[in-house]
Structure 1
Amino acid sequence: MQFFEQFTDLAPLSILVNIIDIMLVWYVIYKVLTLIQGTKAVQLLKGIFVIILARIGTWFFGLETLEWMLKQVIEFGFLAIIIIFQPEIRRALEQLGRGRLFQRSTSQLEEEQTRLIEAMKKSVSYMAKRRIGALISIEKDTGLNEYIETGIQTDADITSELLINIFIPNTPLHDGAVIIQRQKIMAAACYLPLSENPFISKELGTRHRAALGLSEVTDAITIVVSEETGSISVASNGNLNRDLSLDQFTELLRLQWFGPKAEEVTTSKWTWRGKKNG
């Protein structure tokens, strides 16, 4: 009761300030979790929670020696956290520097999106005409860092010339997937998980199975150019849209990448020749 009496004695302005303070704390926690999503920092954060729970357990059961050891780990852990989370901290500071005051205008963002779509369209068109096999995955909300780590990191701007050059046969990076993260070509020659769906058409090769496999465990968009037929396919949300024309591919990519959420873009509106899951 004393707690509630103290709360009711607060002035309305103080109550409003406390509410804003709590909301800001939760917002910061949310942004931190969003920042480390899809990185190894998630596992490290789980380890920190385990140590804290163990510290509480040692205090509850009176395990004095173990309690002292964990206390030292927690006290000196701040410096270790700065070292371990250095990439995430640097990225957070970079994003802070690119805050709303420094963001580009809507027209500039639209121009950048158009440039990216045109680069993808040009590269896919070139490879489809010449039957150059390609596998390109675009990260959305689910992190793809574990797959990026299996390839050769590039961290390069998206250009049609670079994408075409990567997939030219008999080059060091052509075998595997290109992964696009934060509108950058982050890595090439990456390994993707193959789909285990037993109903997939047997005519589909490894690239299509890898595209479907990734779409079953993440919300990524994966583009496939067939080496045998030159056909263009797009996999997302466990579905494979096959044999797309260049215009259909461009429209679908724009919707999936920069339009509404992927689950809101249903394949029922399309009329191309292609079936889900094979």
Structure 2
Amino acid sequence: MDAIRNFWTMHFSWLQLPTLSIRWTDILEIIILSFFIYHFLIWVRRTRTWVLLKGLLVLVFFVSLAYIFEMDTIKFLITRGMDVAMVAAVIVFQPELRRALEQLGEQKLLSNLMSFDGLKDIQERFSDKTVDELVKGTMAMARVKTGALIVIEKNTPLTEYERTGIQVDAIVSSQLLINIFEHNTPLHDGAVIVRGNRVTSATCYLPLSDNMELSKELGTRHRAGVGISEVTDSMTIIVSEETGKVSIAENGRLLRAVTEEELWQHLTVTQDKSVESQKFKLWKGKGKG
């Protein structure tokens, strides 16, 4: 029996848990850390940082394999390139980091932190009426060759592109869209961003695609539509000012000369895409189940 006890003490003494002493400050510290970690994850989810972090997780996985299987050459390269990687990470995340610092100086920061329904807007989908209004407005502009660029948000937030335009925050309607893109009006130049059933911003600037496979006859409007679809999962409706034809940009691809029926089908697919909704609020009462 003594031999067994000695063997256990020698090899498994590290399994013995120390006596825990929990103070009220420890509980408060856990609450504070949980609060800020939660809102950090919300911030990550609301920006493109989420996409970039998923790529970093893949790299971390392969780096872990290199260390597990003792791949000396890869370990040497990782060690030498760590400083460069840290600088590169700051450069890659620069827009998101700048926006986070800007939010620290905003007076409404506390109210934003207290709201736990931050994912609601990201995961909403539009109604049948919005589909009809989008189709009606697009085809009306196509018939008179009014150029238009309508970006429909899906899961990836378009907040950083909204800030480049003018806030509208109005219910989607065909009359509103036609009015916005009418020639010589203050809001006609740029893109409109639609989230859920509302037009959030107009005259927004979008990143241009550098895809060399796109036709040379396409102008800035089409390249902007493809560009935003390359960096987000949005769906973009484009009306050509020269030909009046309707195009759809999605997942970095451009579908040209879309008919009214095809446009309606694409919008319906986007509308019916399954999403997991979170509608709880901490300080504002219980949301829908």
Normalising TM by the smaller chain, what interval? 0.5 to 0.7
**How many Å separate the matches in 2 of 1:85 and 1:258?**
36
Q: CA deviation at 1:32?
A: 4.6
Q: Which residue of the other structure, out of 155, 159, 163, is the alignment partner of 2:169?
A: 155
Given the superposition, is the C-alpha separation of residues 166 and 28 from structure 1 closer, same or farther in structure 2, using an over 3 Å criterion?
same
Are residue 90 (structure 1) and residue 93 (structure 2) matched?
no
Deviations 1:138-171 (A, max 9, x none): 2222232222121111122222221111001110
- 5+ residue gaps, structure 1, are 11-21, 43-79, 100-108, 262-278
Match of 2:26 in 1: none
| 1:156 to 1:144, Cα distance in 2 relative to 1, 3 A | same
The answer to which structure, 1 or 2, has the higher relative contact order (CA under 8 A, 6+ apart) is 2
Is 1:33 aligned to 2:33, yes or no? no
- Which residue is equivalent to 2:16? 5
Amino acid in structure 2 at the alignment position of 1:194: L
Q: In 2, Cα distance between the equivalents of 1:36 and 1:86?
A: 21
Cα distance change of structure 1 residues 205 and 82 upon mapping to structure 2, 3 Å threshold:
closer
Equivalent residues of 1:36, 1:88 under 8 A apart: no
Larger Rg: 2
SS of the counterpart of 1:186? strand
Cα distance in 1 for partners of 2:127, 2:109 equals: 26
Q: Which amino acid aligns with 2:266?
A: L
Q: 1:241 aligns with which of 255, 268, 273?
A: 255
The aligned counterpart of 2:87 is none
Post-superposition offset of 1:5: 3.4
Alignment of 1:115-134 (within 5 A): 115-134=129-148
Alignment correspondent of 2:203: 189
Hey, what's the Cα distance between the residues in 2 that align with 1:192 and 1:87? 27
> Which of the residues 168, 178, 181 maps onto 1:164?
178
Q: In the aligned structure 1, how far is the partner of 2:217 from the partner of 2:224?
A: 14
Offset, 1:38: 4.4
Aligned to 2:158: 144
- How far apart are 1:29 and its partner, in Å? 3.9
Residue 82 to residue 132, structure 1, CA distance change in 2 (3 Å): closer
Alignment TM-score, normalising by the size of structure 2: 0.58
Query: 1:147 touches 1:192 (CA, 8 Å); kept in 2?
Result: yes
Equivalent residue runs for 1:192-231 within 5 Å: 192-231=206-245
Q: How far apart are residue 229 of structure 1 and its match?
A: 1.6
> Is the contact made by 1:113 and 1:258 (CA closer than 8 Å) also made in structure 2?
no
**Do the aligned residues in 1 keep the contact of 2:238 with 2:246 (CA within 8 Å)?**
yes
- CA–CA separation in structure 1 for the residues paired with 2:194 and 2:108: 19
AA partner of residue 34 (structure 1): I
Report if the CA contact (8 A) 2:39-2:113 is conserved.
no
Q: Deviations over 1:199-232 (max 9, x none)?
A: 2111212111110111112211111011112111
Q: Secondary structure at the match of 1:136?
A: strand
Could you tell me which runs of 5 or more consecutive residues in structure 2 were left unpaired when the two chains were aligned.
Answer: 1-11, 21-29, 51-100, 276-289
1:35–1:88 contact (8 Å) kept in structure 2: no
Residue identity (%): 42
Quick check: 81-90 or 232-241, which moved more?
Answer: 81-90
Cα distance, 1:225–1:89 mapped onto 2, change above 3 Å: farther
Q: Report the Cα distance in structure 1 between the residues aligned to 2:188 and 2:175, rounded to whole angstroms.
A: 14
Aligned residue identity for 2:111: R
Q: CA RMSD in A?
A: 3.7
Give the SS at the match of 1:119.
helix
